[in-house]
Amino acid sequence: MSNRSVKDDIRDYWGERAATYDASPGHGLGPRSADWEELLTRHLGPAQGRSALDLGCGTGEMTLLLHGLGFCTTGLDITPQMMARAQAKASGTGIRFIAADAEATMEPPESHDVIVARYLFWTLPKPEAAMADWLRILKPGGTLLLIDGDHVNPPPLDWLAPWFDRILGRDPKAGHALVTPAQWDAHRAIVAQLPFREGLRSSTLLALLEQAKFQQVQADNRGLQAFRPLGWRQRLLSLGRHRFVVSARKATVQG
Ligand SMILES: C[S@@+](CC[C@H](N)C(=O)[O-])C[C@H]1O[C@@H](n2cnc3c(N)ncnc32)[C@H](O)[C@@H]1O
């Protein structure tokens, strides 16, 4: 009998994806950096040496942004190949990186002012346990910012993509043009084992945060600008794609 868990599969999957991850539009921040920066600043407030934890930091795009804003930043991930890329980009910055599981971080209680997780929550096997851990390690009044979406169901016009490819040629700006058929198979096999196998919805996330006793739980529609693809073709194909930004606070006094 195999001792492998879905997390081993997740680690292997992202290990395979690491080399091309940033080149997929929507992953590397590129020309949308200013929108992401605006989004972080609006939710997290002034950095001034406050402590920020980027969960599932991957190749470090958000980690570097947090550091650039002035947060004392930690990046955490389970996939060595993804984090190695983040560490290479962050060389000389003093950003702390830890190889750990976002569902059980092992960080000290009340050690971070803010926690950010972009495109992580949808892939967690135990989301409730993760939220309990995040509440434990946030300082009273600290902010949790979750940026995520439905990574399972394609948007309504996705069926047009092969037609555009045939008529106009393959689009280098296509969201996941760099994912191989074998990687798609691995993705599907992993998703089938996850609680959000039908696709994560913002309403589910909001309800889970309320249940976990987070305060001021809210979705931010203004933040959606940061997800907007750059070219007209990808903008059309992504119409109706479910993406969301959700923030929540830890109570200042625990009741
Ligand atoms: C879609 S990538 C997102 C990377 C980065 N946050 C970004 O916004 O570009 C998902 C990342 O989460 C990491 N990950 C998945 N499950 C994790 C877990 N349980 N603990 C820590 N990292 C995890 C993966 O290794 C991968 O680097």
How is the chain split into domains, by residue range?
A: 6-249
CA–CA distance, 70 with 211 (Å, rounded to integer): 32
The reply to whether ligand 1 has any atom less than 6 angstroms from the CB of 27 is yes
Q: Going residue by residue through the chain, which has 255 residues, state the pLDDT in tens, using 9 for 90 and above.
A: 568 899 999 999 999 999 988 887 778 887 788 999 999 999 999 999 899 999 999 999 999 999 999 999 999 999 999 999 999 999 999 999 999 999 999 999 999 999 999 999 999 999 999 999 999 999 999 999 999 999 888 888 888 778 878 888 777 666 566 778 898 899 999 999 999 999 999 999 999 999 999 999 999 987 777 777 777 888 888 887 889 999 999 999 765
Name the residue type at position 134: W
Q: Pocket of ligand 1, candidates 123, 131, 151, 196: which has the most ligand atoms within 8 Å of its Cβ, to mutate?
A: 123
The reply to whether ligand 1 has any atom less than 6 angstroms from the CB of 57 is yes
Q: Does domain 6-249 match CATH 3.40.50.150?
A: yes
If you search the block for the tokens 């995040």, which residue do you land on? 134
